[in-house]
A = this chain, B = another copy of it.
Amino acid sequence: MKRTAFFISDGTGITAETLGQSLLAQFENISFTKLTRPYIDTVEKARAMVQQINNAAVSDGARPIIFDTIVNREIRAILDQSNGFMIDIFSTFLSPLEQELCAESSYSVGKSHSMMHNANYMQRIEAVNFALENDDGARTQHYDKADLILVGVSRCGKTPTCLYMALQFGIRAANYPLTEEDMERLQLPASLKAQKNKLFGLTIDPDRLSAIRHERRPNSRYASFAQCEFEVREVESLFRRENLPSINSTHFSVEEIAAKILVEKGVERRLK
């Protein structure tokens, strides 16, 4: 069975997309073609959208599922006439919220709003710069300014996790790759020891690590299963010895790893 799903908004479409993805993921046996259509903010674009929805309805032989966060009433009225099954996110929740908060929403007065907040923007940019400049152990002298420092073997997922936390939450996360030298010394380097309360370990299954490393350096010693197994074993034993909290990244997405780290370390989001 195949169905098309549209995430439609007159803004970025992030809310419609995030909620829609999350709801559709609950139907594991249905295969969805998912299409995000942001900035549907004119009558012309809305009419073209209706056409696209109706075409999908014909070719699927079933009506598409529409998740929308359209604020403009005229646009919404046009979309309502498509052959889709509409899930109107804002209208569902805003009226109970208005009652509870005893306040009118900008939605009900038909006014869209921008997500831009100057303070948040600078916070995120600085967090991204921090992650980039303190990536891969490049510098260790700014760890005092870090919210978190991820440690683990090369290619276990430290960099994407740091960047995600920077962009999504404004968290300043550095990362340090534990090298064979660190492992042989059987201890944390001094630069990390001084910031022990910020450390969080990432680990990974050796076969997965080997697969990832083979993508980078095919058939190298670096990518060999034996080497990966050795490094992972040493690092995990270092984590245990130093009593560092850690997580095995193998079966988790970047979002899941980031969320788990923040919970475990009790670090709150910096974006408002």
Measured CB to CB, the residues of A under 8 A from B are 3, 11-15, 18-19, 22-23, 25-30, 34-36, 38-39, 63, 65, 69, 85, 87, 89-90, 92-94, 96-97, 100-101, 103, 105-107, 113-117, 120-122, 124-126, 128, 132, 135, 157, 159-160, 163-164, 167, 212, 215, 251-256, 258-260, 262-263, 268-269, 272
Contacts and interface: CB of A to CB of B under 8 A. Distances in A.
A25 B113 contact: yes
B167 A254 contact: yes
B259 A38 contact: yes
Q: Which of A28, A35, A122, A212 has the most CB of B within 10 A?
A: A28
Contacts of A260: 38-39
B252 A34 contact: no
Contact of A103 (B14, B27, B90, B263): B27
A25 B23 CA distance: 22
B255 A14 contact: yes
A30 B89 contact: no
Given A38-B263, A132-B159, A97 B255 contact: no
Nearest to A264: B39
21 contacts: A12-B255, A19-B93, A23-B94, A23-B97, A26-B97, A27-B103, A27-B106, A28-B106, A28-B113, A30-B103, A38-B259, A39-B260, A85-B100, A87-B93, A114-B251, A120-B253, A122-B215, A128-B160, A164-B167, A167-B167, A167-B254
A114 B252 contact: yes
A259 B39 contact: yes
A247 to B, nearest CB: 12
Contacts of A121: 253-254
Contact of A65 (B3, B29, B100, B212): B100
Q: Which of A28, A63, A167 has the most CB of B within 10 A?
A: A167
Contacts of A22: 14-15, 69
